[in-house]
């Protein structure tokens, strides 16, 4: 999946950019040529390529003495309304410059986005670690969104699937939403699913397991769900009728010994601002990196563009 972007425009002649071959050097040289950089962001749909003024006339992108260096301006001489080139995009409302943000997207993609690295090498980002932290949360939301939108059935006879559930908070239009997410991961195939739990009870848990984990699977819980103690009939039924085997990883309860692997992800990539975020967040990012390992940059750009259609 190579994505070739031609950044040619009226303003400048720029080389074609193969996103699968972008490295830090080519990214910096792209950013240094602002016209090409803006054209590139339009080509990958992170910035809008056209705008219409409220008066109905088409707007033109004009140089401006602002951080973004360009603004949309109405072509109607009697109107001359202006509009931020960030309008509707993922950059809108962020205090980070567009170029710093794109640099950070690149660094996050290739796991160079720790505060330690940024603090050492990238001044503009190291001065705003609070914003950087918000962006990290955003990237994990992108990963989670992908899996919630594309749940996958995993497991099967002789397979092990690790299961966890956690409360996820998500900010949307200044409103903090909270919902429970169930996650499952199969190390052998490096595949997994995330689904929203409409209600947090045994029936819902078991229904989701039946839907997304094939019969015959050893289902490993990090620890028994709290409500497990309220009744084990549902678990017993699935064990007897569908040959699931349930294991509590913490206590080792169950008869089957399995290699526990997802546990590793819990220590995985502990970023500076994550101590309070739940395991599902890191599972989402972990699974996302596994799934798109060959096209990480293309994928993150594509998925961000999908979330913020311009
Ligand atoms: Zn106008």
The pLDDT of residue 75 is above 80: yes
Other Cβ atoms within 10 Å of 181 Cβ, number: 23
Compute the mean pLDDT over every residue in the chain, rounded to the nearest whole number. Answer: 81
What is the rounded distance in angstroms from the CA atom of residue 194 to the CA atom of residue 213?
12
- Ligand 1 centroid, distance to 131 Cα (angstroms): 33
- Ligand 1 centroid, distance to 49 Cα (angstroms): 17
Q: Which residue has the tokens 């290739």?
A: 110
- Ligand 1 centroid, distance to 51 Cα (angstroms): 10
Length of the chain: 310
User: Where residue 11 falls among pLDDT bands split at 50, 70, 90?
Assistant: very low
47: tokens are 């910035």
Share of the chain above pLDDT 70, in %: 80
- Ligand 1 centroid, distance to 84 Cα (angstroms): 14
- Ligand 1 centroid, distance to 306 Cα (angstroms): 28
- Ligand 1 centroid, distance to 34 Cα (angstroms): 26
The pLDDT of residue 165 is above 70: yes
- Ligand 1 centroid, distance to 72 Cα (angstroms): 10
pLDDT of 120: 66
User: Where residue 142 falls among pLDDT bands split at 50, 70, 90?
Assistant: very high
Across the range 176-190, mean pLDDT stands at 85
Nearest to 40 by CA among 307, 306, 305: 305
Please answer whether residues 22 and 63 qualify as being in contact, where contact means their C-beta atoms are separated by less than 8 angstroms.
Answer: no
- Ligand 1 centroid, distance to 97 Cα (angstroms): 26
Q: What residue ranges do the domains of the chain occupy?
A: 147-293
DSSP string across the chain: ---EEE---SS----EEEGGG--HHHHHHHHHSHHHHHHHHHHTTSS-S--B-TTSPBEEEEE-SSTTSEEEEES-TTT--EEETTTTSTTTT-SS-HHHHHHHHHHHHTT---HHHHHHH-HHHHTTHHHHHHHHHHHHHHHHHHHHHS---B--TT-EEEEEEEEEEEEETTEEEEEEEEEEEETTTTEEEEEEESS-SHHHHHHHHHHHB-TTPEEEESS--GGGGG--HHHHHHHHHH--EEEETTT--SS------HHHHHHTT--TT-TTS-HHHHHHHHHHHHHTGGGHHHHHHHHHHHHS--
Task: Order the strands of the 82-84 sheet from edge to edge.
Answer: 59-63, 70-74, 82-84
Largest pairwise CA distance in the chain: 79
pLDDT of 44: 92
HSE-up of residue 84 (Cα within 13 Å, Cβ side): 14
The pLDDT of residue 277 is above 80: no
The pLDDT of residue 275 is above 50: no
Q: Which residues pair with 83 in a beta bridge?
A: 72
pTM: 0.79
User: Where residue 256 falls among pLDDT bands split at 50, 70, 90?
Assistant: very low
- Ligand 1 centroid, distance to 58 Cα (angstroms): 8
- Ligand 1 centroid, distance to 42 Cα (angstroms): 22
According to CATH, what is the number of the domain 147-293? 3.30.420
Q: 54-68, 121-135, 263-277: lowest mean pLDDT where?
A: 263-277
Across the range 285-297, mean pLDDT stands at 90
The pLDDT of residue 194 is above 80: yes
The pLDDT of residue 3 is above 70: no
User: Where residue 276 falls among pLDDT bands split at 50, 70, 90?
Assistant: very low
List Cα–Cα distances, 222 to 16, 246, 264, in angstroms. 48, 11, 12
User: Where residue 253 falls among pLDDT bands split at 50, 70, 90?
Assistant: low
- Ligand 1 centroid, distance to 75 Cα (angstroms): 7
- Ligand 1 centroid, distance to 80 Cα (angstroms): 6
């Amino acid at each position: 999946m190579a994505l070739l972007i031609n950044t040619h425009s009226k303003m400048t002649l720029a080389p074609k950019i193969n996103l699968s071959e972008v490295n830090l050097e080519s990214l910096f040289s792209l950013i240094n040529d602002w016209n090409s950089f803006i054209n590139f962001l339009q080509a990958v749909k992170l910035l809008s390529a056209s705008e219409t003024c409220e008066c109905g006339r088409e707007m033109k992108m004009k140089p401006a003495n602002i951080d973004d260096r360009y603004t949309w301006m109405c072509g109607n001489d009697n109107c001359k309304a202006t509009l931020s080139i960030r309008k509707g995009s993922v950059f809108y409302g962020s205090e980070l410059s567009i170029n710093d943000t794109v640099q950070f997207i690149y660094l996050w993609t290739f796991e160079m986005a720790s505060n330690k690295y940024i603090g050492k090498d990238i001044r503009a980002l190291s001065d705003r670690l609070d914003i950087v932290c918000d962006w990290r949360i955003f990237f994990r939301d992108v990963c989670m969104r992908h899996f919630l939108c594309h749940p996958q059935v995993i497991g099967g006879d002789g397979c092990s699937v690790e299961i966890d559930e956690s409360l996820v908070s998500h900010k949307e239009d200044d409103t903090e939403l909270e919902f429970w997410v169930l996650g499952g991961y199969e190390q052998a195939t490096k595949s997994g699913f995330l689904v929203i739990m409409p209600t947090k009870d045994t029936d819902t848990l078991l229904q989701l397991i039946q839907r997304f984990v094939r019969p015959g699977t050893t289902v490993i819980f990090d620890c028994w769900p709290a409500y497990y103690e309220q009744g084990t009939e549902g678990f017993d039924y699935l064990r007897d009728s569908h040959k699931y085997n349930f294991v509590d990883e913490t206590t080792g309860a169950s008869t089957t010994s399995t290699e526990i692997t997802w546990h590793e992800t819990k220590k995985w990539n502990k970023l500076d601002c994550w101590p309070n975020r739940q395991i599902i967040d890191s599972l989402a990012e972990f699974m996302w990196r596994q799934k798109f390992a060959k096209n990480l940059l293309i994928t993150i750009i594509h998925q961000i563009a999908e979330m913020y259609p311009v």
